[in-house]
Structure 1
């Protein structure tokens, strides 16, 4: 893939985010890290002490369980919203393109919260988790994509 100069690259997985800008040229990209964030998400097994509560119907013998919820997924969603906000902070009229690489689940969640300027400038979506890779390896993988 050819990355025009000043292209923004967002790499995220729901708990880690690296936002980079191509400071090189289109055929020899040099990704510079603009922002890096990481949060520790507590697993659901550590948040819940037991099974969801049970409620009794006001008439009859029926019972039902309360929904347990998924605080882990809610925290990931909140982190992804913050990642898109960081992308919005650094994008301007001189940003020719945006590339987003995320694991498939996070990418699906991101698609629902893209602002219009991201949709307009979105050059590629890559459904791979590159967050644990060094920046040079990410640049190499983007060129090969």
Structure 2
């Protein structure tokens, strides 16, 4: 990770994947961060795809051709919806002035989904994006991943 990353006092760190989001606030300074959990969001349980969609995939017809339509991945859909909800919370915090600066850490697919939903004001406040799933790590390890040697 970038050793020059300096999270300002009261800066926000969003650590998210498709099912969990941690909102951390830096209570320390930009040299010695002290991340504290502000909020934890969990997506509701998502049953197996076989329990959600029992019908076989559909087919389309057109121009004397047939084509199969792939089965919907309900888990991916749920993760996309969760990422949109998380991004909306970040957008809301930005619009109320509660967001000073933000670092976003998420696996690639979630990071891409978050980007599509962030407002332009949030995009301007993003200090760094970390392509890594850190949701299962304790806070002190998250600090070490973001600011090595701190």
- TM normalised by structure 2 equals 0.81
Structure 2 stretches lacking a partner, 5+ long = none
The corresponding residue for 2:57 is 52
Whose Rg is larger? 1
Q: Structure 1-normalised TM-score?
A: 0.84
CA-based RMSD: 2.4
Cα distance per residue 1:83-139 (max 9 Å; x no partner): 112223434546432100000111111111111111111100000000000111111
User: Shift in Å at residue 12 of structure 1?
Assistant: 0.4
2:71 paired residue number: 68
Partners of 1:103 and 1:115 in 2: how far apart? 20
Q: Distance in 1 between matches of 2:111 and 2:39?
A: 19
Match status 1:125 vs 2:103: no
Q: How much has 1:68 moved relative to structure 2?
A: 2.4
1:80 aligns with 2:83: yes
Task: Kindly indicate whether the alpha-carbon contact (under 8 Å) linking 1:6 and 1:94 is maintained by their aligned counterparts in 2.
Answer: no
Residue from 44, 47, 68 that aligns with 1:42 = 47
Matched ranges for 1:12-23 at <5 A: 12-23=16-27
